[in-house]
Amino acid sequence: MNPGILRAILAGWLLFAVNPQSIRANELFPAAPIDEVNIRTIPEFKVIETDTTGSLDTAWNKGFRLGARYAALAHSGLNTPTIITFPDWDKNPVVEGANLHVLVQCLLDPLPDLPKVHDAGATLEQIPSMTVACYAHRGAYSPANFLLGLKKIQDHLKAQNIPAVGPPRYLYYSDTTWTPSWWRVGEVQVPIPSGMGQN
C-alpha cells in the first residue's frame, strides 16, 4: 500500500479513537446536485490549512494527515468536505504532475480557543462566506474529473457574463478510506461576485 495512503488511514483511526464523534459527513454544507452547474453561497468556516507541494494525491494525503492529527489533539470534529485550493491558478493553471502548489483545508468545528498549530506549513484560518459557481460529480478524485467540472463552470460563467474572482478549488465529500472511487462525490467550485447568477 502507498505509504501516504497508509498514513492518512492511521490518522483517521487516531481521530476516531480520540473523539468517536469526530468523523461526520456533510455537517457544514452538503454537496451540490450531481452533474449540473449551480450558484450558491457557502457559509464561513474554520479550517486547518496546509500549504504544500506535490501531486494531487500526495498533497491531499499530507493535508488530511496533519488535519486529522490536529483535530484529534484539539478535540474537534474533522468535517466534510476537505478542500484543495489552487492559489497560483491564474499564473499556472495545472492540476497534474508532482509539483503542484495547493492549499489543503480541513474543516474544523467552530470551537473557541483552538490550540496553536505546531506543524510546519499548517495554520488555522477563518474562510469567509463566499458565492461560488459549482459542479459536483460522482467518481474518482482525479485531475480529469476536476478539469471536466471546471470546464462546465467556465462555459456557464462565460454564457452568463459572470467573472471569476478567485482560484478554483476541489472539494472531497467522501471518506476515501471506505468509499469506492466510483461512488465518491467531488465538487469543483469557482468564487464569483456575491449576488451574481442567483435567482
Convert the pLDDT of each residue in 95-112 to its tens digit.
Answer: 999 999 999 999 999 888
- In this prediction the pTM is 0.84
Q: With beta carbons less than 8 A apart as the criterion, state whether 185 and 174 touch.
A: yes
The whole-chain average pLDDT of the chain stands at: 87
Cell of 143: 485531475
Angle between helices 56-74 and 3-18 (to 10 degrees): 20
Q: Which amino acid, one-letter code, is at 144? A: A
Cα dihedral angle (88, 94, 99, 103), rounded to 10 degrees? 40
Element (H, E) at 15: helix 3-18
Residues pairing with 78 in the sheet: 23, 108
Question: 164: exposed, middle or buried (C-beta count within 10 Å: 0-12, 13-18, 19+)?
Answer: middle
CA angle 57, 32, 148 (to 5 degrees): 50
**Residue 91 cell numbers, joined:** 499564473
Rg of the chain on CA atoms, in Å: 16
Question: pLDDT by residue (tens digit) across 11-50?
Answer: 444 443 333 333 343 357 889 999 999 999 999 999 999 9
Grid cell for residue 86: 489552487
Closest by Cα among 84, 79, 70, 57 to 14:
70
Q: How far apart are CA 1 and CA 7, in angstroms?
A: 10
Residue 159: is its pLDDT beyond 90? yes
Q: Which domains does the chain have, with CATH numbers?
A: 3-192 (3.20.80.10)
CB-based contact 154:135 (threshold 8 Å): no
Q: Which residue intervals of 19-96 are DSSP H helices?
A: 56-74
First CA to last CA distance, the chain: 48
127: amino acid identity, one letter: I
Summarised one tens digit per residue, pLDDT across range 42-98 is 999 999 999 999 999 999 999 999 999 999 999 998 888 999 999 999 999 999 999
